Each structure stands twice: as structure tokens, then as C-alpha cells.
Amino acid sequence: MSPNSLAEALDNSRILQKSFSDGSMTFTISVYQPLHAGWLKSILLGLGSGAKIIKPVELQSILIDRAKK
């Protein structure tokens, strides 16, 4: 994760659970209907290319398409 992505993620840490392993950081965000949460998409896109969405897998495709636009 890039320094800018890390700073953005930590700024939003009040809604996140964090775990650290092997120099990487995993955030868990519990969101009702994440595919429809516009604010979540904005935060995730703001993290840049250093971030990886693990699940829901459908959100990965949505954000890739949005980033291309």
C-alpha cells in the first residue's frame, strides 16, 4: 500500500478493523449492501492501485470499471 493510500485508510480508521501481517495491512469494513454504498466506493477508489478488495468479488469489477472511466 502506498503512503498516500495508507494515510487515507488510517484517516477512515474509525469505521475499520485493522490487522497487520508480513508488512501488509488488512482492513475489514462491515457494510450493509456494499455494492450500493457510494461512499464506500469513493473511499476504496481513493486508496489507489495499492489496495486490493478481497470480497465481495463483485465490488472488484464495479470499481475497476469506475476507475477506467
Please report the pLDDT score of residue 15 as a whole number.
60
Q: What is the pLDDT of residues 5-57, one digit of tens each?
A: 666 666 655 566 778 888 787 878 777 788 888 888 888 888 888 788 888 89
Q: Is the pLDDT of residue 63 over 60?
A: yes
Question: Would the pLDDT of 3 be above 70?
Answer: no
Per-residue confidence (pLDDT) for residue 58, from 0 to 100: 92
How far, in Å, CA of 28 to CA of 48, rounded? 17
Grid cell, residue 33, equals 449492501
pLDDT of residue 59 exceeding 80, the answer is yes
* Residues 1 and 53: beta-carbon distance below 8 Å: no
Query: Do the Cβ atoms of 4 and 48 come closer than 8 Å?
Result: yes
